[in-house]
């Protein structure tokens, strides 16, 4: 697919929190990563408001195993200690395939739509392990990214057949990606076939729930935004000196 990247991400632990378990403080992980969590990983590799990243598919490489850990969450209203049990995924490892499209709702950034340069920077960022820290769902779950060829190597669920995971959180609709001043949550029902989950695009998700009003963030070149032309020149100059 056009403007596509492929990579492998792994960690010692992962915590893709089921929203139902957040209320009482006892967090429990989904069995598989959510679309939004994988999109967050891709955006940590390379992100610009000019682009919208789409997660095409994920391949589960290691067996789905969980581990319960006792933690002491921070109590912001009291100095007393508290104890909670978090259920983590153990040794998660995934192959991810994603691609970007230009955000047509950001006409203010139309000058930054250089497909070739964005794709080159994204591919180089994958090879370098990403531009920002990688987390598998939660900040305490430090992850690592490596370039790979999707569907290469042996996966635990390669000949496992079909598994349905029931209704799950898919991701958020943000105002700058939809053109609407509303933050929305999406729900879908993922199915894994021989270790591979193919994601529905956000606009195809069957259930969407509005959360709250939210305004689109403004980006100004030279203040809180660096155009891709400047990024490309900077990247090229660093490669020459190295």
Q: What is the pLDDT of residues 131-172, one digit of tens each?
A: 999 999 999 999 999 999 999 999 999 999 999 999 999 999
Beta-sheet strands, E only, within the chain? 4-11, 13-14, 51-60, 66-71, 84-90, 93-102, 134-135, 142-147, 162-164, 168-173, 182-188, 191-193, 196-198, 207-213
Distance CA 173, CA 223 (A): 26
Torsion sign (Cα): 51, 54, 59, 64? positive
DSSP letter assigned to residue 26? -
Q: pLDDT tens-digit profile of 76-121? A: 677 777 788 999 999 999 999 999 999 999 999 999 999 999 999 9
Q: What is the mean pLDDT of residues 173-177?
A: 93
CATH of the domain at 226: 3.30.70.2660
The pLDDT of residue 36? 97
Question: Does the CA dihedral 176-181-182-187 come out positive or negative?
Answer: negative
Per-residue model confidence (pLDDT) at position 217: 86
**Confidence category of residue 231, pLDDT binned at 50, 70, 90:** confident
pLDDT at 236: 67
Q: pLDDT of 2-37, one tens digit each?
A: 899 999 999 999 999 998 887 767 899 999 999 999
Residue 159, classed as helix, strand or coil, is: coil
**Which residue from 100, 155, 95, 101 is spatially nearest to 123, judged by alpha carbons?**
100
Q: Rounded CA gap, 26 and 16, in Å?
A: 13
Task: Provide the domain limits for residue 68.
Answer: 4-241
Domain count, the chain: 1
DSSP class of residue 145 equals: E
44 pLDDT above the threshold of 90? yes
For residues 34 and 189, give the distance between their C-alpha atoms in angstroms, rounded to a whole number. Answer: 11
pLDDT for the residue numbered 112? 94
Name the pTM for this structure: 0.92
Euclidean distance between CA atoms 63 and 79, whole angstroms: 39
Could you report the per-residue pLDDT of 189-219, keeping only the tens digit for each? 999 999 999 999 999 999 999 999 998 888 8
SS (H, E, C) 182-242: EEEEEEECCEEECCEEECCCHHHCCEEEEEEECCCCCCCECCCECCHHHHHHHHHHHHHHC
């Amino acid at each position: 697919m056009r403007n596509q990247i492929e990579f492998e991400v792994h960690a010692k632990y992962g915590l893709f929190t089921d929203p139902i378990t957040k209320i009482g403080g006892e967090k429990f992980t989904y069995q598989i990563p959510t679309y939004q969590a994988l999109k967050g990983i891709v955006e940590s590799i390379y992100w610009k408001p000019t682009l919208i990243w789409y997660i095409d598919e994920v391949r589960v490489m290691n067996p789905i195993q969980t581990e319960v850990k006792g933690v002491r969450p921070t109590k912001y209203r009291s100095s007393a200690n508290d104890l909670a049990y978090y259920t983590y995924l153990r040794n998660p490892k995934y192959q991810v395939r994603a691609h970007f499209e230009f955000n047509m709702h950001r006409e203010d950034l139309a000058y930054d739509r250089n497909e070739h340069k964005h794709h080159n920077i994204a591919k180089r960022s994958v090879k370098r392990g990403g531009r920002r820290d990688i987390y598998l769902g939660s900040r305490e779950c430090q992850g690592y990214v490596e370039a790979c060829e999707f569907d290469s190597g042996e996966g635990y669920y390669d000949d496992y057949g079909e598994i349905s995971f029931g209704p799950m959180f898919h991701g958020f609709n943000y105002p700058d990606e939809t053109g609407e001043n509303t933050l929305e949550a999406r729900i879908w029902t993922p199915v894994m076939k021989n270790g591979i989950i193919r994601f529905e695009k956000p606009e195809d998700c069957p259930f969407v729930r509005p959360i709250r009003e939210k305004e689109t963030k403004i980006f100004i070149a030279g203040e809180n935004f660096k155009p891709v032309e400047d990024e490309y020149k900077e990247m090229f100059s660093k490669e020459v000196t190295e």
